Structure 1
Amino acid sequence: MGMSRKRKFVYFIAIGLSVLYLLWRIFFTIPWGTNLPVLIFGLALVISEVVSNLTAYVLIIFRLLESQSQEDFIIPDYDPTQPVPRVDILIVTHNEDVELLQKTINAATFIDYPEPEKVNIVVCDDGNRPEVATLAAKYHVQYIGMEGNHEAKSGNINHALAQLDAPLFALFDADMIPFSGFLKDTVPIFLRNFRRLEEDPDHTKPLGFIQTPQSFYNADIFQFNLFSEKIVANEQDFFSRDVNILNGHNQTALFTGSNAMFLRKAVDEVGGFPTDTITEDFELGSKINIAGYSSFATTQAQSSGTTPIDLKGVIKQRTRWARGVIQSCQNLHIFTNPKIPLLNRIILINTYLYWWSFLRRLIYIAAPILYALFKFQVVNANFWVLMIVWAPGYFLLHYVLNDASSEIRNERWGEVQETFFAPYLFFPVILETLRIRAKHFKVTQKKVSFSIKDKLYILPYFFMWLVTLIAIVKFNYGKWGAEIMVGSVITFWLMMHFINLSFCVFIAMGRNVYRNAERFDRHVVGRIKATGTDHWLVIHTNDVSDSGLSFTTKDVTQVLKDQQAFEGVIFHGKVPIHFTGKIIRLIQNDAGEVTYGATIVMRAQKDRNHYMQIIYDGSNGELPKEQDAWVTPFDELNMNLTMRLRTLERRVSVFRNRA
């Protein structure tokens, strides 16, 4: 479906007006006559605006260049006339819990393929752990262990690839659980490319890899800490299911570390997984593209994993990504390497500039504060000229950015996320640019781990929030009429940053975690029988988790009681899953229908394997895929304030009762 002429016209007008604004800013508003510190900050502000607009243009232009024909972006079915290739599925583990690794291995054994004997599942363990070798044997999959690995994840993968030879291989992190349709969403695309290479080799680029979206079955730190699990999509969805799809339209999707399928020949040609960076994924994908191979990103998730929700873990993860991308960009010489094609270079530079957005965000926050509190005028402009030149381009450009960003995330929410990461990422980016390396990096721990030190992470947000509030009050105090109007631009920016920082304070405040396991909306039919009875009740599950499920029944001949023990069976396809359980919760609605919550225990390992497949074979439908456009930032702030006041009220009430 192509873009309408009206939308294209609006996009071009937005770019045109913003370019005029930037030209005016560069040539007419820099305070050259002021003191040196103010001048330096003024120049930094102009540079930040130019770079921010350039990155916005890339998104808009890529949206405009999006193919009118969707043929190449529809995943084909298997061609019955083409033999399917052998595939190695690599599950890479470092020191993850065996219980978590077991879920991933179990899911891999359920992946569909026309010729299952051509699929080889390999556990790559650089810890050479006996318990992991035992687990692999239990599931009848290949185990490749190693000792003395000094090259991190890349060393582990390269060591395994040296012992494998399938023409295609898939890669999964230990916590990234594959869905049964993964091969169906990737292998047919390679088969189509193989056929086209045979039919028209002069006009067909070989396909190097396919990246499926990063997907997570638990709420991320933004969704969870802001009580927004039903309102906003996962923070990483915008890149995985939108930006990287656009990159793929230009045949240069980025590799994001897991749940991707590779042409073995392409990886061998570029020397295997790079070992001179901490983001081997980004660098490998880029090398494959530079070597002349295309890459593609799909829209439908075919695996799901865990994302950290403790602030310390999230910051460490993003710091590693930031430093790694800067390292890889330096290794690839993205600005000067003559082998990099134009579109590929634009994507790489845009990715590089993204990690500088956090420094730009701090500059944007500081600029109106400096004027409001200290009268440091870093923009030399008349109010009316500013309104004529700046306002139309700014608001139209942001309207277009919201339109070009699809429904996954709007521009406003993107600013909140940038503000959240800004205090902790700008410094590592600067250090890495100066080639001052971090000495040690660890794999991000996905288990929630909170300590009193985590509360200290709130300090930068609270400080900026407080200073911004003081600046708003001081700048507007005593002003009337025309004074308020003339100062409205400063007030506008202060208020925008104040709202963003309010969100950051709420995120950093955290939220108690009560669930031991995530719930998944899975609707299957089964039956249960209370202990000591012979009557089977037909049940329909509402949601399931590792340790329990909730269900309803229309059979009112027998009412289950709290703490009632039972035995039951549900079905995974045609396979019965036998378990025992105990009722722990009963909730009756106004219509008299009862929803039961129960803990369950599987009778045998086979039952457990199939039950895990029910849970993890698909995305968690409890979490949204798009942002709720009807919920405004003010609604979310009000909701957070209300929820936290209720929590405080409960704590005070408990304290009084104890006293």
Structure 2
Amino acid sequence: MSNKRRFLYFLAIALSIIYLVWRIFFTIPWHSNLFTLIFALLLVISEILSNSTGFILIFFRMLSTKKKWNLTMPKYSSTQPLPDIDIIIVTHNESVDLLRKTINAATFMDYPDKSKVHIVVSDDGNRPEVQALAKHYHINYSGMENNKHAKSGNINNTLEKFHSPLFAIFDTDMIPFSTFLRNTVPLFTENFQQLEDDPDHTDPLGFVQTPQSFYNADIFQFNLFSEKIIPNEQDFFSRDVNVLNGGNKRALFTGSNAVFLRKAVDEVGGFPTDTITEDFELGTMLNMAGYISLATKIPQSSGITPIDMKGVIKQRTRWARGVIQSCRNLHIFTNPHLTMINRIILLNTYFYWWAFFRRMIYMIAPILYALFKIQVVNANFWILMVIWAPGYFLLHYVMGDTSGIKDNAKIRNERWGEVQETFFAPYLFIPVILESIGIKAKKFKVTSKNVTYSLKDKLYILPYLILWGITFIAIIKFNYGKYGSEILVGSVITFWLLMHFINLSMCLFISLGRPVYRKSERFIRKVSGKIQLKNGKYYPIMTEDVSEGGIAFKITQKDNSEIQQEDNIRIILQHRNFSIHLAGKIARISNRNNQPIYSAQVQVPSDENRDHYLQIIYDGSNKTLPSVQDTWVTPFDELYMNLVVRARAIERKISSRFNRF
């Protein structure tokens, strides 16, 4: 990090601290009524916590050296025996078709000695169809009945039956890449050698977490028509924040696609069963037991993320409640076994889930003044400009500068972070409060990844619509009839109202949803093969993209004029010295760079063909989705684009109805 950047970071923190001191001692309306005083104190506390979490990220960014950020993956140790590893695929009630993809991918994972890889399906439903699937793929099956401890109980039951020195955990929907073991296990063999060479100065490695990655667009990307503009919302934590945690040897376990030292997990008593976020709690238990944890930056598996409101809100509510449960179990404020770095990471994680309560406070505060003249901050406008504005805007710039830097490209900026906080705020702030005072939810279920759009789902728009309407009225009422200096003095309130109005407008578009036409995700894959036409001739091809139901390809020689739309075809693709046979029909012919691109619907005739074809599709990240943010496109551009796209959609519907008459 350059000295200039470091100076800006320190200056942003210093100015923000000056502002917070001023806020605490000079702006709280102590003599107001009880409601105003309570809200004023909540606002100050929210600002303190918001700034503190920002300071922690800046602090970790300054601690992060190039070596810590770019974790070097060693080769398998030549002096250490290759360890056996159990691949545990955890399933509850997910579909067999989804489970098949993960099991299939696990059988293709590269390892110097495949006999040392033991794949097991951990099924707490004792489902005959899952047992048959395991038998089909010649892998192990671990079933159980009457599981009272959810995912933890399922995994612990399987761990009692398998005893390799390493094991990996995969959720049903998290499909591993063939490179997964190559990019995790060598860190353990290197650590084993270091422990032999210098045990006094080497910490044992407890687990390695790879990023949570998803092959479909999330609810923000999809519903905002932003699949080419912003990365997955979870990338900021998985590929940036947790990598920073890992740089301090305290990465958090996020539930799937991680490799563990079996001895370490046994030492802490297995997976904890007194929380619904056993992943978060187990990782910390291992750290407290003296084991370090690392996080890699490049995804080694990919899963499916929910894009319906019900599924997303339900998933985040479970995470929020679970983390708060685990923080209480771990006594993160007073536990003497936590190191300073560990405690800071845990506090940062805990207060993250309070960000949604803070966001509600931030939205309501300017509305109270604009509509009801309830003043929760006693401050002169010019003093506010001198003390608040420099620190706020510099910190805002610095936080954007630290939001996931990858080769000078950002994973997320602050404005997008505020949109995402606003989206979750109305649904998470109450569960967070309830869990914090010990009121637990009665039952939690695995989040369904199937998209649903019932009338009940559409009611999720109501909190945003109500807040949006109130904010709009507040903007009009507050500024109506004001001129000159009055507008200037009130500009801070107007600024915040407009910011929240824009965020809420984005939330309205997200909650409105978007029709899902594609049955399966499309992946960019370059695979050679050949096509047989109805005349029996073969032509060499190269695929452009593939999906479970279709394939796009170009012919790599000039004579291709015989292919017509609706033609029946046969395609042969090469994968690992295996010829995959596909049967299909040409659905569309397009032109790209003056070359015909043929899109075909395909069917896979046999199981072995299907296994290899699925591996072509899912062995690697989905490059159709961005890994960094397009910084040229702002939320304002997104807002305008959504207005235009949705207005045109309404216009088409109206036109089609009139045309019928």
Q: Distance in 2 between matches of 1:51 and 1:292?
A: 29
2:69–2:247 contact (8 Å) kept in structure 1: no
Q: Distance in 2 between matches of 1:145 and 1:39?
A: 57
With normalisation by structure 1, the TM-score equals 0.98
* Structure 1 residue aligned with 2:458: 455
* Structure 2 residue aligned with 1:644: 646
2:170–2:258 contact (8 Å) kept in structure 1: yes
* Structure 2 residue aligned with 1:17: 15
Asked if 1:505 corresponds to 2:481, the answer is: no
Letter in 2 for 1:569: I
- My pick for the range that moved more, 613-622 or 75-84, is 75-84
Letter in 2 for 1:508: S
Percent identity reads: 65
**Could you tell me how far 1:454 is from its partner in structure 2?**
0.9
Q: Distance in 2 between matches of 1:557 and 1:510?
A: 41
* Structure 2 residue aligned with 1:106: 104
How does 1:463-612 map onto structure 2 within 5 Å? 463-531=466-534, 533-553=535-555, 554-588=557-591, 591=594, 593-612=595-614
1:145-198 CA distances to partner (integer Å, 9 max, x unpaired)? 111111100000000000011000000001100000000110000111111111
Asked if 1:154 corresponds to 2:152, the answer is: yes
1:265-289 CA distances to partner (integer Å, 9 max, x unpaired)? 1111111001111111111111111
Asked if 1:422 corresponds to 2:420, the answer is: no
* Structure 2 residue aligned with 1:32: 30
Closer, same or farther: CA 353–642 of 1 in aligned 2, 3 Å: same
How large is the Cα RMSD of the aligned pairs? 1.1
Closer, same or farther: CA 557–519 of 1 in aligned 2, 3 Å: closer
Match of 1:334 among 332, 335, 351: 332
1:91–1:124 contact (8 Å) kept in structure 2: yes
**Could you tell me how far 1:66 is from its partner in structure 2?**
0.9
How does 1:401-416 map onto structure 2 within 5 Å? 401-405=399-403, 406=405, 407-416=410-419
Unaligned regions of 5+ residues in structure 2, if any?
none
1:313-370 CA distances to partner (integer Å, 9 max, x unpaired)? 0000000000100111111111111111111011111101000000000000011111
With normalisation by structure 2, the TM-score equals 0.98
Q: Distance in 1 between matches of 2:70 and 2:544?
A: 38
Closer, same or farther: CA 329–589 of 1 in aligned 2, 3 Å: closer
**Could you tell me how far 1:632 is from its partner in structure 2?**
1.4
1:530–1:565 contact (8 Å) kept in structure 2: yes
* Structure 2 residue aligned with 1:89: 87
How does 1:160-199 map onto structure 2 within 5 Å? 160-199=158-197
Q: Distance in 2 between matches of 1:349 and 1:304?
A: 29
**Could you tell me how far 1:658 is from its partner in structure 2?**
2.1
Q: Distance in 2 between matches of 1:83 and 1:585?
A: 53
Q: Distance in 2 between matches of 1:298 and 1:493?
A: 38
Report the 3-state secondary structure (helix = DSSP H, G, I; strand = E; otherwise coil) of the residue aligned with 1:73.
coil
1:275-320 CA distances to partner (integer Å, 9 max, x unpaired)? 1111111111111111111000000100000000000100000000
Match of 1:267 among 265, 271, 276: 265
* Structure 2 residue aligned with 1:277: 275
Match of 1:288 among 270, 286, 289: 286
How does 1:306-455 map onto structure 2 within 5 Å? 306-405=304-403, 406=405, 407-455=410-458
**Could you tell me how far 1:588 is from its partner in structure 2?**
3.5
Q: How many residues align?
A: 655
Unaligned regions of 5+ residues in structure 1, if any?
none
Asked if 1:204 corresponds to 2:206, the answer is: no
Match of 1:230 among 228, 231, 248: 228
Q: Distance in 1 between matches of 2:316 and 2:251?
A: 20
Letter in 2 for 1:100: L
**Could you tell me how far 1:421 is from its partner in structure 2?**
0.1
**Could you tell me how far 1:539 is from its partner in structure 2?**
1.5
Closer, same or farther: CA 524–633 of 1 in aligned 2, 3 Å: same
Q: Distance in 2 between matches of 1:71 and 1:379?
A: 41
1:446-477 CA distances to partner (integer Å, 9 max, x unpaired)? 11122111111001001111111111111111
Letter in 2 for 1:151: H
1:395-436 CA distances to partner (integer Å, 9 max, x unpaired)? 001111011112100011000000000000000011111111
1:537–1:555 contact (8 Å) kept in structure 2: no
**Could you tell me how far 1:36 is from its partner in structure 2?**
1.1
Closer, same or farther: CA 510–588 of 1 in aligned 2, 3 Å: same
2:68–2:247 contact (8 Å) kept in structure 1: no
Q: Distance in 2 between matches of 1:350 and 1:315?
A: 22
Q: Distance in 1 between matches of 2:445 and 2:558?
A: 53
Letter in 2 for 1:597: S
- My pick for the range that moved more, 464-473 or 598-607, is 598-607
Report the 3-state secondary structure (helix = DSSP H, G, I; strand = E; otherwise coil) of the residue aligned with 1:143.
strand
Report the 3-state secondary structure (helix = DSSP H, G, I; strand = E; otherwise coil) of the residue aligned with 2:524.
coil
Closer, same or farther: CA 306–514 of 1 in aligned 2, 3 Å: same
Closer, same or farther: CA 419–141 of 1 in aligned 2, 3 Å: same
2:104–2:611 contact (8 Å) kept in structure 1: yes
**Could you tell me how far 1:556 is from its partner in structure 2?**
2.8
Report the 3-state secondary structure (helix = DSSP H, G, I; strand = E; otherwise coil) of the residue aligned with 1:538.
strand
Asked if 1:63 corresponds to 2:65, the answer is: no
1:402–1:410 contact (8 Å) kept in structure 2: yes
Letter in 1 for 2:100: Q
**Could you tell me how far 1:69 is from its partner in structure 2?**
3.5
Q: Distance in 1 between matches of 2:83 and 2:394?
A: 50
1:45-87 CA distances to partner (integer Å, 9 max, x unpaired)? 0000001000000000001111354498211112233221000
Q: Distance in 1 between matches of 2:553 and 2:59?
A: 49
Letter in 2 for 1:645: A
Letter in 1 for 2:552: S
Letter in 2 for 1:485: L
Letter in 2 for 1:388: V
Letter in 2 for 1:452: L
Letter in 1 for 2:496: W
Q: Distance in 1 between matches of 2:431 and 2:453?
A: 23
1:580-631 CA distances to partner (integer Å, 9 max, x unpaired)? 111111224583x322111111232111111100000000000000110000
1:176–1:306 contact (8 Å) kept in structure 2: yes
Match of 1:140 among 126, 138, 141: 138
Letter in 2 for 1:642: V
Q: Distance in 1 between matches of 2:561 and 2:372?
A: 75
Asked if 1:633 corresponds to 2:635, the answer is: yes
- My pick for the range that moved more, 596-605 or 611-620, is 596-605
Match of 2:114 among 106, 113, 116: 116
Letter in 2 for 1:602: V
1:423–1:460 contact (8 Å) kept in structure 2: yes
* Structure 2 residue aligned with 1:6: 4
2:167–2:261 contact (8 Å) kept in structure 1: yes
**Could you tell me how far 1:538 is from its partner in structure 2?**
1.6
Letter in 2 for 1:361: R
Q: Distance in 2 between matches of 1:223 and 1:322?
A: 22
2:168–2:259 contact (8 Å) kept in structure 1: yes
Q: Distance in 2 between matches of 1:570 and 1:167?
A: 38
Closer, same or farther: CA 51–557 of 1 in aligned 2, 3 Å: closer
Q: Distance in 2 between matches of 1:155 and 1:169?
A: 16
2:69–2:243 contact (8 Å) kept in structure 1: no
